[in-house]
Amino acid sequence: MNLAGSNTEIKLSYAANEFTAMEVPLSGRNPHFLSMIAAIKPHVLLLNKSDLADPNHKATVDQQLRDQGTQNILHIRSTEPIRNVDRIVPMVADLIRQSERYNRQEAFDYNIMVIGIPNVGKSSLINALRKMHLGRKGPATRVGATAGVTMRVLERIKISEDPLMYLLDTPGILSPATNEPQTALQLALCGCMLDHLVGNVLMADYLLYWLNQQHNYSYVDYLGLDGPCDDIRLVLYKTAINMRVVNKVRTYEGWSLRPNQEAAAVNFIQGFRRGLLGRITFLPDAGNSMLDAARQPSAA
């Protein structure tokens, strides 16, 4: 699904909750949201997984977002999903009441679209809001740990009685900015793309480079290495040995066991996603020099 395909739902909604991960607060936004939705409707940006992001960048990120025209920002912690969630309904209701479009229509309920890139917690937010305001524990919409669980715009889901408010869950839509390799890799590391389409070893290679650039050597203890290293092949080889994961490979001499570097890469990535490598925020200008250098012609 693309934005053009959701025009009907956009017209029926009074406001939009845009959802992204605090780990990719700037590159994790689709600029078309601002032009097609946020520019004409009340708009709240929800930054999920704030507890996994670098707190030193919070003020800078918030200021850059406000400079881009986003004034209503809420930070949500993945470990404490209720924190700040209780502010969403009253904030959105106030913004809608203040909008001219709502005042021209004598409506008594609120239709809110939940939009954002894939796998940043949109469906989980809807379920949390239903539980908080209606006391309903069962999930109203599917959730999953991989991108692409929500495949179409769903029916209206009631999340509040007073004020009467409904949400529309929508499929995640990636930004055209993902044509930039570093942006694509950062989004992939945050789970916004299907891992097998990007490649676990490629993602692990970028993650290793980025951590070394930031002088973050927490991966050494996590992977059981002797010290920092910039060779992903060596890192994955040693990690696989430490994990005791192997592949059975056929050679000219018969079958032999080789360290499973794919499993080692998955373990490395999962450590990042679970916050075991520290609190990390990917900003657009950080971690790009490796890819920029790769584009430069050789001096030979």
Q: What is the pLDDT of residue 111?
A: 84
Report the C-alpha gap between 65 and 73 in whole angstroms: 9
DSSP 22: T
- Supply the pTM of this predicted model: 0.79
Report the C-alpha gap between 61 and 126 in whole angstroms: 25
DSSP 38: I
Residues 282-297, mean pLDDT to the nearest whole number = 55
Query: Regarding predicted confidence, which is higher, 260 or 106?
Result: 260
Superfamily of domain 4-176: P-loop containing nucleotide triphosphate hydrolases (3.40.50.300)
Report the C-alpha gap between 285 and 182 in whole angstroms: 10
Q: Treating both helix axes as pointing N-terminal to C-terminal, what angle do 200-213 and 181-189 enclose, rounded to 10 degrees?
A: 100
Extents of the domains making up the chain: 4-176, 199-290
Report the C-alpha gap between 119 and 173 in whole angstroms: 10
Q: Report the residue count for the chain.
A: 300
Report the C-alpha gap between 206 and 186 in whole angstroms: 8
Counting runs of H as helices and runs of E as strands, what totals does the chain give? 13, 8
Report the C-alpha gap between 234 and 217 in whole angstroms: 16
Report the C-alpha gap between 237 and 268 in whole angstroms: 12
Name the 3-class secondary structure at 18: strand
Q: What is the pLDDT of residue 221?
A: 98
For 123-169, the pLDDT digits (tens) are: 778 787 888 767 655 554 544 444 444 444 456 788 888 888 888 87
Report the C-alpha gap between 112 and 287 in whole angstroms: 36
pLDDT at residue 289 is higher than 70: no
For 181-211, the pLDDT digits (tens) are: 898 999 999 998 889 999 999 999 999 999 9
State the Rg of the chain over Cα. Answer: 22
The string of DSSP letters for 157-214 reads EEEETTTTEEEEE------GGGGSHHHHHHHHHTTSS-HHHH-HHHHHHHHHHHHHHT
For 95-120, the pLDDT digits (tens) are: 888 876 555 555 577 888 888 888 77
Report the C-alpha gap between 239 and 233 in whole angstroms: 10
Beta strands in the chain (DSSP E): 15-21, 43-48, 73-75, 110-116, 157-160, 165-169, 246-251, 254-259
